[in-house]
Chain A
Amino acid sequence: MDIIALVGNPNSGKTTLFNALTGANQHVGNWPGVTVEKKEGKLKFNDSFYNIVDLPGTYSLGAYSEDEIVARDFIIKGNPHVVINVVDATNIERNLYLTTQLLEMGTKVVIALNMMDEAKQKKIEINLDSLSNQLGVPIVATVASKRKGIDELIEKAVATINEDPPVNSISYGEELDKEIAEIKKLLLGSRDEKFKDWISIKVLEGDEEVIKHIQENNGLKERLIAIKDKAVDYELEIVNKRYEFVNKVIEKSIKKPDETLVTITDKIDKIVTNKYLGIPIFAIIMYVIFQLTFVIGEDLLGGIVEGWIESLGIMMSSFLYAINSPDLVTSFVIEGIVGGVGAVIVFIPLIMTLYFFLGILEDTGYMARAAYVMDGVMRALGLHGKTFISMIVGFGCNVPGVMATRTLENKKDRMIALLINPFMSCGARIPIYLVFIAAFFESKGGIVLFSLYALGILVALIMGKIFSKTLFKGESSHFIMELPPYRLPSMRNVLRNMWDKVWDFLKRAGTIIFAVVTLLWILSIFPLGVEPYSQESILGRIGTFIAPIFKPAGFGTWQASVSLFAGIAAKEAVVAVLGMVYAGGGEGAALVSAVQDVFTPLTAVSFLIMTLLYTPCAATIATVKQETKSYKWAAFITIYPFIIGWVLSIIVYQVGTLLGF
């Protein structure tokens, strides 16, 4: 199957185009750097299938960030048959800078000149033929959000697979051109011959990764030492020459109006980035989203799903009764599966609603402003403004949140962002909050939810400050971020994003949570003969063993303890276990009233704080291990949040008791 790779700047509409091409489930962001992973999808055209690979959005293909390395490594080593270079027509100059590097790589390229509708609105006139001739690359005008030009793009891309790669006609100046020729000679006959043009440019550009790669080539090493003094000049000169080339191309093909109009984006930005209003507006937006989530996800839709699960439970138990199934099987199905997994499924409407709104916020371009307004606060704490983006991603799930820290180039900034991410309240923790809110704080649901999220942020920021003063001293790197124009959210992107999250949640409910529930059920019926889910079962004994630790925090019951224990496998399991041990497999209303019997409002708060802050789930710990390549940090991220959550919940419980709550 031939491979088509998508390359482009952040915010060029690359992921929207990917969705249009493949129809695969994709997450679309509107801020730089959200596409951290490689994403693939299939495209069918003329009875053939093509594998489409969406590479991270980057401004360049150097070694500046991991995103860039991922993207360019794929072009060099992944052998795509053709690259579709997505170019934002409203920002053609900077976008073509990336194109010059594709030309240098000698890869087959088709340009998708995207957002042509916006370019027209801005009165930018583009001569496609002239542009295409000068670059030596076919160009197709597209509007990915309206699926315009897609068919033609596919046709062109497929046709290009069988053509010769474009010739790089950039001149780097006499001196550099000579150097490049020298180095190319040294690469003849080596394993790198195929990419000799690209490698010689990269070497002169001082690209550390490439230089590392050619270390064993002695002739080349000597050459590099000979030109060492000029390395910095060469590096910047190459960038200049690329831009010179771009400008020459643009001069002949594009007419832009001299006056830039005051756009709607400018007007909105005046308000939302205002020094006094910025942060309050952000807080209000988040608060409104949580309130709406509650009203729509819980009050309007939540009950419906709960009803379904309940009737399913009744149906299943009468069916099992009718076929005379053994008690053990009935207990497993009703208490284990329907009770455990069902308790998790009930929260799907809520998760859908929350991600619907967060998706809209992302797709409009507001999130970049949120990072902007938060930069001041973050700076004051010794953190980088972009840290906030990984934190917002962490609201969805800490796994991509931890991965999103890759956009921070500085090691110090990145390690701090990574270590504080688990305090961001992920989607899997929502069900826990909801059960307790329904039990104790019915009328104040939005506020409680908002406060928990805010507490998570607060703890994260405080820990960030502490880390920047202790473990990771030194300067934070500079804040450089593009603020993309506001765009109307594309419903397709928003719904797809929402569906991705729900599907993830369902998959987890069907796999890991199912496994955890099964394991816990087994632990709950052994040793044989004990009352299932009783304190005498193995499950009960584990809980009883842990429970004293939580006594000073007010929830030192074996049931609460074992639910927290299970929550390390997956946070949803906390509610699943509570459903099993308290409500005998009951979910929804049954669980809520059971919780009312054993918790008080104060112990509920203390328990919620613990679930918000304690040890992240296994998947997050594994991701931290993978990203830091260190067991030490994996152990650290397992232990320190536990201590923080534990201490804080004790303080809350003890102070609350003193105050008479």
Chain B
Amino acid sequence: MTNKTLSDLHPNQECKIHSIYGGRNVNKRLYELGLNKGAKVKVLKNDVGPIILSLSGNKLALGRGLADKISVV
């Protein structure tokens, strides 16, 4: 696991998903939504509440607890 997670990123920062440690069901759901290893995402909002990401042009809101479990590079 790299040290950086999604919740560490600032708005407009781009990154690649490294791994997701959310538990079996959640992992699968995220994979199915296209948030897979190597997927390029851009953080749009990260202050309070869920984090908003842009994933190939679509907006996805992820809870903070979950964002903590997604490591990025």
Contact = CB atoms under 8 A, between A and B. Distances in A.
Given A91-B58, A93-B56, A260-B54, A479 B32 contact: no
A269 interface: yes
A236 interface: yes
A379 B64 CA distance: 10
Contact of B65 (A97, A232, A236, A478): A478
Contacts of B59: 265, 269, 482-485
Given A269-B52, A273-B52, A240 B31 contact: yes
Interface stretch (A302-310, A368-376, A571-579): A368-376
B9 interface: no
Contacts of A379: 63
Contacts of A409: 25
Contacts of B50: 372, 375, 385, 479, 481
Contact of B45 (A260, A273, A484): A273
B38 to A, nearest CB: 10
Interface in A7-62: 59-60, 62
Nearest to A64: B29
Contact of A373 (B32, B36, B49): B49
Interface residues of A, number: 40
Contacts of A482: 33, 58-61
A359 to B, nearest CB: 22
Interface majority SS on B: helix, strand, loop or mixed?
mixed
A256 B58 CA distance: 13
Given A91-B56, A478-B63, A239 B28 contact: yes
Given A122-B57, A275-B49, A266 B44 contact: yes
Given A64-B28, A385-B50, A479 B61 contact: yes
Contact of B61 (A91, A93, A480, A485): A480
B62 A236 contact: no
B50 to A, nearest CB: 5
A483 B29 contact: no
A477 B36 CA distance: 20
Most buried by A among B48, B49, B56: B49
A275 B47 contact: yes
B46 to A, nearest CB: 10
Interface in A267-285: 269, 273, 275, 278
Contacts of B31: 236, 239-240, 243
Interface in A453-509: 477-485
Interface residues of B, number: 31
B34 to A, nearest CB: 5
Nearest to B67: A478
A235 interface: yes
B1 interface: no
A484 B57 CA distance: 11
B44 A60 contact: no
Contact of B49 (A60, A232, A375): A375
A91 B56 CA distance: 8
A481 B57 CA distance: 15
Contacts of A483: 52, 59-61
Nearest to A270: B45
Contacts of B62: 478-480
Contacts of B73: none
A97 B26 contact: no
B52 A235 contact: no
A94 interface: yes
Contacts of A239: 28, 31-32, 36
A386 B40 CA distance: 26
A345 to B, nearest CB: 42
A278 B52 CA distance: 14
Contacts of A269: 44-45, 52, 59
Given A269-B52, A375-B50, A376-B48, A478 B66 contact: yes
Contacts of B47: 275
B49 A376 contact: yes
A90 interface: yes
B24 to A, nearest CB: 6
7 closest A-B pairs (Cβ-Cβ)? A479-B63, A483-B59, A478-B66, A376-B49, A239-B31, A275-B48, A478-B63
18 contacts: A59-B33, A60-B32, A64-B29, A93-B34, A94-B33, A235-B24, A236-B31, A260-B54, A260-B57, A265-B59, A275-B47, A372-B50, A372-B61, A376-B48, A379-B63, A480-B33, A480-B62, A483-B60
